[in-house]
Amino acid sequence: MRAVIVKKECIGCGLCTDICPTVFKMSKKAYAEVYVDEVSQEDRNEAMEAKENCPASAIKLED
């Protein structure tokens, strides 16, 4: 599974980094970024939770 942040939709709230810090981080411009190529099996539930809770719906998960 891959995670993608749609940058034009991201509002930089940081919720995804709080929920799943092993996949998401905040950039220097205060927007979320994905910093792994592939979401590990261990991080899938947290990545899905981050997607579901993103207030801007800026997170996409692709198989």
Backbone angles phi, psi at 48, to 5 degrees: -65, -40
Instruction: Residue 62: count other Cβ atoms within 10 Å of its Cβ.
Output: 8
Rounded CA separation 29/46 (Å)? 24
pLDDT tens digits, one per residue of 2-42: 999 999 999 999 999 999 999 999 999 999 999 999 999 99
CATH number attached to the domain at 2-62 = 3.30.70.20
Question: Is 62 within 8 Å of 2 (Cβ atoms)?
Answer: yes
pLDDT, position 2: 98
Instruction: Residue 55: count other Cβ atoms within 10 Å of its Cβ.
Output: 8
Q: How does residue 62 score in pLDDT terms, banded at 50, 70 and 90?
A: very high
